Structure 1
Amino acid sequence: MKIKTYVADNIQEAFYKVKTELGKDAVILQTKHIKKGGLLGFFAKNMVEVVAANDIDISSVQSAPKKPTIQVLPDIIKPEAAATTELVQIKSEVKELKDMINKLISVQKQSTDDIKADQSNISSPLKDIYNRMSDMEIETDIINAVISGISAEIKEGSSEIDLRNIFKKEIASLVDATEPIELSRENNIIAFVGPTGVGKTTTIAKIAAHFSLYKNKRVAMLTTDTFRVGAIEQLRLYGDLMEIPVFVVYNLEDMKLIHKDISNYDLLLVDTMGFNPNNRMQIKKIKGLLDNICPTEIHLVISASTKTCDLIDILNNYKELQYTKIIVTKLDETKSYGVLLNTIKAAKNCKLSYLTMGQNVPDDIEVASADRIADMILGEI
């Protein structure tokens, strides 16, 4: 295997050098930003260092001398004893498999019985709403609460329009008030956290465009995501298009240096690195960084296609970061909107701020609202 280190002005130039010398099948082992040149530490140029390797040289491996191997004789077991031991093991595994299948059947039957019991006392018009909410993968206890609320208000002879209006009222009672970003002070610092691939950077660009182009505010963007390849370039591209400055923080010392620069802006939007929600070390690293940035608000960004079980893990594991608002992205990539209500229930004392449904900047974003959520669940959008 041939390993080489390349230094270039930017990531694209470095990748070009790698492909030119090592071929298109080269493997990138490491990328990092470095400072090179200058005098006594001053005027150093920001550059990119890439460590890459090409495929393993098979011929060299074949020509390498092989270590002598020592053969070990297996233990000698009588055929009768071996057969008896194997038969006992097989019987044990079959029994475990049967118990597992019976348990799964029992759980599934209980779930079906619960659904039937839930619908046994529901009138025909409400069954459609019940089934619709179930199709949206809304948790059963939320569905039962909504149906109970509708049943208490619906009157004999109510029209379909009356039923839908009552339904929207029940949804509104669950959603409560939503809270988008409000610039209540001179220097507002809003940080965005969340798992990898949920669309934090694009969402930040949309919000930056909204306040810069439509609200005429002085906006800046800051990224701490120096790990993901292309993350800085993506945010800088948005910044160039909207004429919004972009600051890059590689370490805590950088944050101290740019504090004076960012004090001149009405709004600073902070992009953080995405990571596995179960990675406690990364959470503590982001927590330390946010403690130095001192954001006025922290928004947790999640994807609408997130499964409920994974959603609960994300909400619980990110609690250490003290987020207060939630943004749900990629609503255009799913037909199941139950995650909106499931999120509200699981994230106590947190409110929805924005919904996004596409990649277009500055479009495809809106302030979350109860009516909008109800319309999506009812299939009216």
Structure 2
Amino acid sequence: MKVKRYIVDDVSEAVNMIRNELGSDAFILNTKEIRIGGFLGMFRKKRVEVTAAVDEAAIKPSKRPMLPVRQPERKSVPTLTEEPSASSPLLPSNAIRERYSQAPFADSGRKPSLPSTDLQMDVDVADPLKPSSESIPFYDKQSATLAAVVQTIEEARDKKQQSDESSELLQELRTMKEMMAKMARQQTYRSMPESVMKWSKRLAEQGVEPSYVEQFAEAVNQRLQEQGDEGIASSYEASQEVLLSWLQHVKGNGVDSTTRIIHFVGPTGVGKTTTIAKLAAEQSLNHRRSVGLITADTYRIAAVDQLRTYADILNIPLEVVFSPSELVRAYKKLSDLDLIFMDTAGRNYRNELFVSEVNSLLSPGEQTETILVLSMTHKISDMKMVASQFVKYGVNQLLLTKFDETDSFGAVINLVKEFDFRISYITFGQAVPDDIRPFDPKELVKRLLGDPADD
């Protein structure tokens, strides 16, 4: 491949030069603007640098007349026997010849040794058409290097094109596989009993994600086939069994007797402060445990006053901390108590910076727990985002609030299936300490499926 660089005023001028010098098979590799000349970096003229190349195999040799080969001239020096020219500077004069013929050479019997008369001086005239190593321009090396670079780029481009074609083929295969799986599921749904479709539709209306609805339908249909009964009552019982099997490991144990510190985390507006007051009253009045409160919620207006009011009603101590360094002092003051509830600030926990900030306030240990508080009135996408942020820090306890403010409970299935949470309590009102109770999977299943007598 032959590569050549042109510096011109515009590209059209370069195109004409390329066609004249490299032929119509040449192509342009690169164009760029440069500035040349000037004085002290000023008054430089704008030019265009165009790099073109052509495949040498594609260049047709031009028919030019053959130049006659110039033979080297050979100049000879006449011998001394010939009559020398008087003006020849290469031959000895007569005076010099006579001096060589005299003594002391005559006495010694030796003849004087004169310069060789047969000396021939050959002068070769250099052939201007013969290339030499010194006549190879420096840019030929650059051209060879550039040609190798162009070849490497072309090979990389071919490989990338093949890779792109393979990726497109794989994507098409995945799309076809998903389409076939979807068609198979649709065919399976058509063959399912109407009773199974009824309860599957009910779960979908409750906000359960489609993938879990499909698993539910397949599991219920399999149970009905084993029983040989596809009636509404049988399908309802099978649906309950499937959902309970999903929730049997979800129920938590409440506040363990060995636990000493419980941290409550969660976004704004989920009811952490009210929930802490309910649990503090339940542990203090029903279980006769000495309870203390710590709050780090200094961002929300009147948050400290709200918790202080509950502490005064229950006659339990309260400590307020503004930084992690003050926690040591607060724990020391409450060291003689059986149980400590700690309230953290509600923040936008979709932001991982806030999650790490609240995590720095949590005191790890064998006698501590951290409970994530979420509201049933929030969107499932927001709940999952917040949950994923805290799961990374080892949080696996969940407390759900505001069950009385919604009729959609599918979010519970989505959360426990994806994050494997344990749920100890749910709340369903503002009354302290009445509107809180342990999580009951059977109650949730009844809320999800509804009452079959109502259909």
Class of the TM-score when normalised by the shorter of the 2 chains: 0.5 to 0.7
Matched, 1:151 2:224: no
Q: Which runs of 5+ in 2 are unaligned?
A: 1-178
Matched, 1:176 2:268: no
Q: Would you say the 8 A contact 1:181–1:353 is kept in 2?
A: yes
Q: Deviations over 1:277-316 (max 9, x none)?
A: 2222221211111147986111111111222222221111
Matched, 1:330 2:408: no
State the secondary structure of the residue aligned to 2:216. Answer: helix
Segments ≥4 residues shifted beyond 6 Å: 112-115, 292-295
Task: Give the structure 2 partner of residue 125 of structure 1.
Answer: 195
TM-score (norm 2): 0.55
State the secondary structure of the residue aligned to 1:184. Answer: coil
Q: Which runs of 5+ in 1 are unaligned?
A: 1-109
Give the number of the structure with larger relative contact order, counting CA–CA contacts within 8 Å between residues 6 or more apart.
Answer: 1
Out of 330, 341, 366, which is 2:437 matched to?
A: 366
Matched, 1:212 2:284: yes
Counterpart residue type for residue 416 of structure 2: I
Across the aligned residues of Structure 1 and Structure 2, the Cα RMSD in angstroms comes to 2.6
Q: Give the structure with higher Rg (CA).
A: 2
* Structure 2 CA distance for partners of 1:222 and 1:114, relative to 1, 3 Å: farther
Q: Distance in 2 between matches of 1:232 and 1:194?
A: 17
Q: Distance in 2 between matches of 1:316 and 1:130?
A: 27
Aligned length in residues = 271
Q: Map 1:1-381 to 2 at 5 A.
A: 119-154=189-224, 155-157=227-229, 160-177=232-249, 178-185=251-258, 188-291=260-363, 296-348=368-420, 350-380=421-451
Q: Would you say the 8 A contact 1:297–1:324 is kept in 2?
A: no
Q: Would you say the 8 A contact 1:287–1:320 is kept in 2?
A: no
* Structure 2 CA distance for partners of 1:157 and 1:319, relative to 1, 3 Å: closer
Counterpart residue type for residue 151 of structure 1: N
Out of 252-261 and 336-345, give the one that drifted further.
252-261
Q: Deviations over 1:2-25 (max 9, x none)?
A: xxxxxxxxxxxxxxxxxxxxxxxx
* Structure 2 CA distance for partners of 1:276 and 1:113, relative to 1, 3 Å: farther
Counterpart residue type for residue 218 of structure 2: S
* Structure 2 CA distance for partners of 1:119 and 1:158, relative to 1, 3 Å: closer
TM-score (norm 1): 0.65
Counterpart residue type for residue 211 of structure 2: D
Out of 238-247 and 211-220, give the one that drifted further.
238-247
* Structure 2 CA distance for partners of 1:295 and 1:183, relative to 1, 3 Å: closer
Q: Would you say the 8 A contact 2:195–2:230 is kept in 1?
A: no
How far is 1:233 from its partner? 0.8
Q: Deviations over 1:23-79 (max 9, x none)?
A: xxxxxxxxxxxxxxxxxxxxxxxxxxxxxxxxxxxxxxxxxxxxxxxxxxxxxxxxx
Q: Deviations over 1:310-358 (max 9, x none)?
A: 222111122344212111111111111001101101213x211211111
State the secondary structure of the residue aligned to 2:274. Answer: helix
Q: Would you say the 8 A contact 2:294–2:330 is kept in 1?
A: no
